[in-house]
Amino acid sequence: MRRGALAVLHQYEPRRGGGLPGAGSASCGAGGGETGSPGGPVRIGSLFSGIGGFELGLERAGLGEVVYQVEADPFCRRILAQHWPDVPRFEDVRAVGLHNLPAAEILAGGFPCQDVSMAGRREGLDGERSGLWWEFHRVIDETSPNHVVVENVHAGSSGWLPSVRESL
């Protein structure tokens, strides 16, 4: 069956036992830090938020609550503000990190596809837009979430997926 995008790419070993309900884990050596309260909602952070599809799905699935969103497009930020009026929003993924993002156990996002899409320039992760993956990676390294969800186009995934997996 052909799918349009990648869903769960990688799961980190939970920092203090537990983890997501029904989710297995693959060890990746995440560091220390605080987690959500036991039995309480898991905190969800979002990069390249768009209009909030990941956030909406994760919240509706009962996995947790959104604690921040990062989105460059002004129209999308207005939509996000309508659905999550009290959630902090940031405009530039290059300007966020451990110094200004709330803690989150889940980090989700779909980095720009223009350079990795079969219809795009095919510059890969070195391209100007899809190269923002490395900012996503930097945020993962700085914030050490327990779980990471990365989304991008299926067509062309042979060009970006191996590099993304290897970098994690």
What is the share, in percent, of the chain residues with pLDDT greater than 90? 45
What tokens were used for 42? 């898991």
Mean pLDDT for 67-76 is: 97
Please give the model's pTM, rounded to 2 decimal places: 0.73
Mean pLDDT for 2-14 is: 39
Pairing of β 106-109 and β 42-47: parallel
pLDDT for residue 155: 65
* pLDDT tens, residue by residue, 103-132: 999 999 887 665 556 665 666 566 667 667
pLDDT at 133 over 50: yes
Which of 113, 116, 139, 150 is catalytic? The answer is 113
**33, 98 Cβ separation under 8 angstroms:** no
pLDDT at 18 over 50: no
pLDDT category, 134, cuts 50, 70, 90? confident
Nearest to 138 by CA among 75, 83, 106, 93: 93
Place of tokens 């590099």: 163
* pLDDT tens, residue by residue, 79-105: 999 999 999 999 999 999 999 999 999
For 84, how many CA atoms within 13 A lie in the half-sphere containing its CB?
24
Q: Give me the residues paired with residue 17 across strands.
A: 15
The Cα 76–Cα 61 span in angstroms is 22
Mean pLDDT for 55-69 is: 94
Mean pLDDT for 9-38 is: 38
Output phi, psi for 107, to 5 deg: -120, 120
> Does the annotation count 28 as an active-site position?
no
